[in-house]
Chains A and B, each alone.
Chain A
Amino acid sequence: MRYYHSHVIIQEKCTGRLTCIRTCPTQALRYRNNSIIFHDDLCVDCGACINACEEGVFVPIIDEIADFEKFEFKIVIPSHTLYTQFGLNVHPGLIHRALLNIGFDAVHEISKHAYELSYVVSESLKSNIQRKPIISNFCPSLIRLVQVSYPNLIDLISPFDVSRELAAKEAKVKYSRELGLSQDKIGVIFISPCPAMVVSIKQPAEKDKSWIDGAISINDIYNSILPEILRIQEESSEEAENDFFYYGKSWGVLGSIQKHHDPEHTISVAGIDNIKMILDDIEDSRLQNVDYIEAFTCPQGCISGAYCVENPYISRNTAIMFEKRYGDPPEIDNKEIHLRMDKNYYKLDKKVIPRITRSMSGDITISIKRMNQKQKILRKLPNKNCGLCGAPTCETFAQDCAWGDAELTDCIFLKSNSH
């Protein structure tokens, strides 16, 4: 099975700086014979390579607004992160108006759905049916990391859908009914802070098909709406600022769920290496009394996503202030949520399943043989992790040699100096 990924590799642009192979947290990249080798089964779409490469070798695959002309009615769902990109002085109402001005027919807000979900998760944690801790699933890169490296923990991934999907589902059903249009004529477009969410729309890990029809990156839309925002700000700012807006609990910022959920029994963690430490602890039953893991593979949460424009620490400030300003939820009837819960409205139909990677030969004897080869090779390597062989570390190089992917002669230290 081939995996959909959110970037293409333009080999011609590569000058072999090796930044990407050193950056990739799952060691999915190699540089051999003047080109990049991509082990796509190991890629979790964190977007680190896209950000790391100065040459622009990794080009995000992103939809363009023009791609949505085929839909009769276009609904846009901005991620929470979009609102934090313009500083404190741009009211979200301005952003919505700008989106309508550039050609969308409706803006559907996501916060209400995030609120509902957070309620649903809290309720389900009260019952003891659910295996704990629940691992949050809004970061698709995290789900992929569990699929690739922590198959043991796959059952802990939250069984509920994510807010962007619930928003898309509701928007589609609502407008289809109101306008009398069939659902396939209505396009739902998500504004994404990162490549992983785009992948989760194009090839979801937890369902057959996403409710969302396409995705635009924050940095693409930023350039289109910024002039509009400035214009509206000048002309009719006051009017827009009276729009009702519910921002919620600074979702998408590290720690926001922990703060509001149940701080004592929640762990907030960001960054792939840190997440691995926590997942290791869960695997070894070392983490006691924790009900919920809020995890993002980007350092500060979604505000550090590869497609964000603003400095994440400034976005964080904006998010915190917006939570103060627009944090009061609209009237939401919890009874309504319970009714929907009973109908399994929030539950995912399918379970996430582990991803079989190339390192799993399925034959223990072959694996052990390779491990022994790898150890032998590793002992003789200089352990400088220079990366000049094209593998990020001496250890990965030894592994590649044992697997037959690399030649020992690729190591410059193993070649004779005394010519």
Chain B
Amino acid sequence: MKESIPNIVDIKRIQETLKAKLWVKNTAEGEYITGIYASDLMSDVLAYGNSGSVLLTGLNSVQAVISAYMAEFKGIIFIRGKVPEKETLNFAKEKGLFIFSTEDDMFEACVKIANIEGKAPEIIDETKTEKKAWNIITHTFYIDGQDFASAGMVSTQVKAILKSIGYDPLLIRRAAISTYEAEMNVVMHARKAEVTLTASDKEIYIIIIDEGKGIKDIDQAMQVGYSTATEEQRALGFGAGMGLPNIKKNADVLEIDSVVDTGTRMEIVFYVK
């Protein structure tokens, strides 16, 4: 069961509308919430609930408040006049969640909340209401240039994540090899980089944005054997000029934008079949 309200509503109005009893305060005056999540299934709360929401639930156990805390909710409203357990209240106090209870049942409470005319506050700090889609997984990694000792760590982590999701082994292999090549490029030629992995059931996206010397001629860099690696780097076994061609070979889409002396943005896409 799920009901979310489009507008941001302040907690006080919800309390008034539901004639809710306050158990644990923990709210600042005029604090806003970003949504209501109504459910008795705590695994759904963890999977689909957005941070900054309120949990409306009939599950009167400490499990509920722990789940709400995990999902970065602001608080809980218990329905049908449930009296929260002492442990629940203590946990909420400790972790900074508020707790209300209302005499309404789930349906009545949802309808009432849905009918509140939401007044969006004028300034919303978007960074504090991070919304993540439940069917996409995102991870960010960082690479330091010239750090040959740690080279390969990011691609190893990317591979581990893709493996645990359970993609086709061949697809994982292609993604891991491409990430490794891109990682080596950063280590050899850039100062630092941010790698973002975004994965869904449709595609795997890997974006590498580096700060560094950039690529002068991308077409030339794409040629097999072309390399600007130093003698030392070659002595270490890197820089054979296979990096970009190898990524191109493995990826479904490879897009490179580069500004000389500023950096390179590389987008690698793999389609999930």
Contact = CB atoms under 8 A, between A and B. Distances in A.
Contacts of B170: 152
A284 B62 contact: no
Interface string B164-206: 1111011011001100100000000000000000011100000
A372 B45 CA distance: 11
A209 to B, nearest CB: 28
Given A284-B155, A288-B237, A377 B169 contact: no
A86 B107 CA distance: 77
B159 A283 contact: yes
B96 interface: no
Interface string A271-298: 0000000001101111010000000000
Given A284-B156, A369-B134, A369-B135, A360 B166 contact: yes
A419 B172 CA distance: 48
B227 to A, nearest CB: 16
B203 to A, nearest CB: 11
A367 B66 contact: no
Given A377-B70, A409-B66, A368 B199 contact: yes
B71 A416 contact: no
Contacts of B135: 365, 368-369
Interface in B95-119: none
Contact of A284 (B72, B180, B237, B272): B180
Provide the main secondary structure of the chain A interface.
Answer: helix
B152 A364 contact: no
A414 B159 contact: no
B91 A284 contact: no
A380 B70 contact: yes
A33 interface: no
B263 to A, nearest CB: 25
Contacts of A280: 156, 159
B69 interface: yes
Interface in B124-183: 132, 134-137, 152, 155-156, 159, 161, 163-167, 169-170, 172-173, 176-177, 180
A367 B166 contact: yes
A418 B93 contact: yes
Contact of B166 (A285, A364, A404): A364
B134 to A, nearest CB: 6
A409 B170 CA distance: 39
A404 B46 CA distance: 11
B159 A376 contact: no
B172 A368 contact: no
Given A368-B200, A416-B91, A286 B152 contact: yes
B7 interface: no
B137 A372 contact: yes
A354 B42 CA distance: 34
Interface of A: 149, 151-152, 280-281, 283-286, 288, 354, 359-362, 364-365, 367-373, 375-377, 379-380, 401-402, 404, 407-409, 414-419
26 contacts: A152-B170, A152-B172, A152-B173, A280-B159, A281-B152, A285-B177, A285-B180, A286-B152, A286-B180, A359-B164, A364-B165, A364-B167, A367-B164, A368-B134, A368-B137, A368-B165, A368-B200, A369-B134, A372-B137, A377-B70, A379-B70, A408-B63, A408-B67, A409-B63, A415-B91, A418-B94
Given A284-B180, A367-B164, 5 more contacts: A151-B169, A284-B177, A368-B137, A371-B165, A407-B63
